[in-house]
Structures are given as C-alpha cells and as structure tokens.
Amino acid sequence: MADLAATGAKDIALFKDGAPYSIFVIRDAAGVRAFENSCPHARLPLNGAADVFFDVRRTVLVCVNHGAHFDPVTGACLRGPCKGERLRAFPVSTDGESVLIP
C-alpha cells in the first residue's frame, strides 16, 4: 500500500503462460483496484512513466498515447478513441499493507 502513496498507482509486471504482461494497481477514495495495463484503443500500455496513470487531480486514469480517459472505479473509457470500451479489471483484496492479486 505504501507503494501507492506517491502517484496513487503502481505498475506491476507478471507472467501468464510464460508470456509477460503488465497490470497496474490503483488506490483512491473508492478503494484498491487492478487493471490490465493495456488500452482498449491500440493495446498499448497506458502510462509513459513509471506508476503514472492518474490525471493531476487523480479523478480519471489517462492513456498517454492518445489521451483516452477512464473511470478509475469501473475502468470504462469516458473520453477518447475507445469511448464505450473498458479496461480489463482484476480482482484484488488487501491484507494490511499488502495488495493480493489471485
């Protein structure tokens, strides 16, 4: 959880079936959530810098590539070229200072 304090988000590299893929975990007033770090527009990572996913007011998630905005609670694209699509969400739980991703 402390890793989420600076930017409200943390990108994490995982492996599935031997292939690398990236997710990111966010924390805000609504709680802790995780999404695949793959924009539905062009399947590129959303962030251009480590752990930077939120806008400056931390109200929406922003894709650095073409400016799509996403609801940080639902992952729905609110504005931009993928409007109406959504980020793939992953279930998470917390245990003290740890974020658990099954």
45 in contact with ligand FES (CB under 6 A): no
Shorter beta-carbon distance to ligand FES: residue 63 or 99: 63
Nearest Cα neighbor of 62 from 84, 85, 42, 79 is 79
41 in contact with ligand FES (CB under 6 A): yes
Nearest Cα neighbor of 24 from 67, 79, 70, 65 is 70
Shorter beta-carbon distance to ligand FES: residue 1 or 44: 44
Among positions 66, 79, 83, 88, the unique one binding ligand FES when judged by CB under 6 A: 66
Q: State the Cα–Cα distance between residues 32 and 4, nearest whole angstrom.
A: 10
3-class SS shares of the chain: helix, strand, coil, % to 5: 5, 40, 55
Shorter beta-carbon distance to ligand FES: residue 82 or 99: 82
42 in contact with ligand FES (CB under 6 A): yes
Task: Catalog residues that contact ligand FES under the rule CB under 6 A.
Answer: 39, 41-42, 44, 63, 65-66, 68, 80-82
